[in-house]
């Protein structure tokens, strides 16, 4: 399910939504939720793996690198 959205544009959306929901969502949760809405295929492939950022307070460079490689 390829998206016309670039990975960098995705990161901008993550930042936008995180600014709106930062009192309720961790950055990893925001990253995963936005990813799921744009690239559900990638979100589902990383769910429950070491690359799943959902429960993280920081999205590591390894997660960024891996997700971008799947983009």
The tens digit of pLDDT for each residue in 19-45 reads: 999 899 999 999 999 999 999 999 999
Has residue 66 been placed in a domain? yes
Residue-level pLDDT at 44: 98
Residue-level pLDDT at 1: 58
Domain count, the chain: 1
Residue with tokens 């925001």: 30
Q: What are phi and psi of 23, to 5 degrees?
A: -80, -15
| Enclosing domain of residue 37 | 7-70
Has residue 40 been placed in a domain? yes
Residue with tokens 């960024």: 64
Q: What's the pTM value of the predicted model, to 2 decimals?
A: 0.92
Query: Rounded to whole angstroms, how far apart are CA atoms 6 and 19?
Result: 20
Residue-level pLDDT at 22: 87
Has residue 20 been placed in a domain? yes
Has residue 45 been placed in a domain? yes
Has residue 2 been placed in a domain? no
Query: Rounded to whole angstroms, how far apart are CA atoms 20 and 23?
Result: 8
Average pLDDT over residues 43-56: 97
């Amino acid at each position: 399910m390829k998206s016309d959205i670039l990975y960098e544009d995705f990161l901008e959306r993550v930042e936008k939504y995180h600014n709106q929901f930062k009192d309720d969502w961790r950055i990893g949760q925001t990253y995963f939720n936005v990813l799921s809405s744009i690239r559900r295929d990638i979100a589902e492939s990383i769910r429950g793996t070491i690359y799943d950022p959902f429960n993280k307070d920081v999205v590591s460079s390894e997660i960024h690198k891996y997700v971008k490689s799947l983009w």
